[in-house]
Amino acid sequence: MKPICFIAARGGSKGVKGKNIKKLGDKPLIAYTIESARKSKIFSHVIVSTEDKLIAKIAKQFGAEVPFQRPRILAADNASFDDVLLHGIKKLRELGYDFDVVVNRDCTVPFIKNSDIIGALKLQKEKKCHTVCGVYRQHHNPYFNMMEINKKGFLRFSKKIKKKITNRQDAPIVFQLNGLFVIDVNRFLKYRKLYMPKTLPFEIPLERGFMIDTKFEFEIANLLAKNKVVPLRKYTKL
């Protein structure tokens, strides 16, 4: 049984207005994730969950299915992804979709390759784990160069460790999530949360796991695309 690709794309982005359908190169951002998923032949269906009619229209133009409309309460700033995914899985099963694994793709991470998805799926199957999270190694490290302000207003390291750390390489490795999740559906329905007891990382290089969340990062993404980290194809409707 093939997994389903699940893309959650709300209309109320705060960091970059209309981010999910903002043009990257000559196509809306969401188009890269949809086209990549469809052409991979990995998935039985490519599903977009959104409350936004324009996002739904564009998603369909690039070949995704939008079989239900997400309630607006699940597109609010305080809505959790756990609730969005739970709603999506339940709606899909009500509509007769048959699947036991969901692969979540965040459309703000357009450079992930299909080989990354295949690798994450293989890890989930071999280790029989509940969730596999796509990650990349983060050079910003709470043990070495990330600070917090304490109650007295003074800086302190975000995390302490007994061992004295004189360079970043000696600090414990930390990871940044990048929006790729391989999820055992039955386990998720039991625990109702993404980070379940058996959760493993799948490492993806930064240049492919790069996440767009600000205007500056959007500009970086455009530069990466122009340098053919992601091929820029002409805008084509189905």
Residue with tokens 């999530």: 177
Q: Where along the chain do its domains lie?
A: 4-134+176-226, 139-173
User: Is 136 buried (19+), middle (13-18) or exposed (0-12) by CB count in 10 A?
Assistant: buried
* pLDDT (mean) for 70-98: 95
CA–CA gap between residue 145 and residue 153 (Å, rounded): 18
3-state secondary structure of 213: coil
pLDDT of residue 232: 47
Distance set, CA 210 to CA 91, 171, 184, 188, 213 (Å): 30, 22, 25, 26, 10
- Average pLDDT of the chain is 90
pLDDT band at residue 236 under the 50/70/90 scheme: very low
pLDDT of residue 228: 63
Position 27 pLDDT exceeds 50: yes
pLDDT of residue 238: 39
Cβ–Cβ < 8 Å for 104, 4: no
pLDDT in tens, 195-206: 999 999 999 998
pLDDT of residue 65: 98
pLDDT band at residue 229 under the 50/70/90 scheme: low
Q: Of 192, 20, 42, whose CA–CA distance to 103 is shortest?
A: 42
Q: Rounded to two decimals, what is the model's pTM?
A: 0.89
156's tokens: 């302190």
Q: What percent of the chain has pLDDT over 90?
A: 69
Lowest mean pLDDT segment, chosen from 9-18, 21-30, 124-133? 9-18
pLDDT of residue 235: 39
Strands (E), 131-228: 131-137, 147-149, 155-157, 175-184, 199-203
pLDDT band at residue 230 under the 50/70/90 scheme: low
* pLDDT (mean) for 144-167: 87
Distance set, CA 171 to CA 42, 144, 167, 176, 178 (Å): 37, 7, 7, 15, 21
Domain 4-134+176-226: CATH class, spelled out: alpha beta
Distance set, CA 108 to CA 8, 226, 232, 235 (Å): 10, 17, 16, 18
The HSE-up count of residue 60 (CA atoms within 13 Å, CB side) is 11
CA–CA gap between residue 23 and residue 14 (Å, rounded): 16
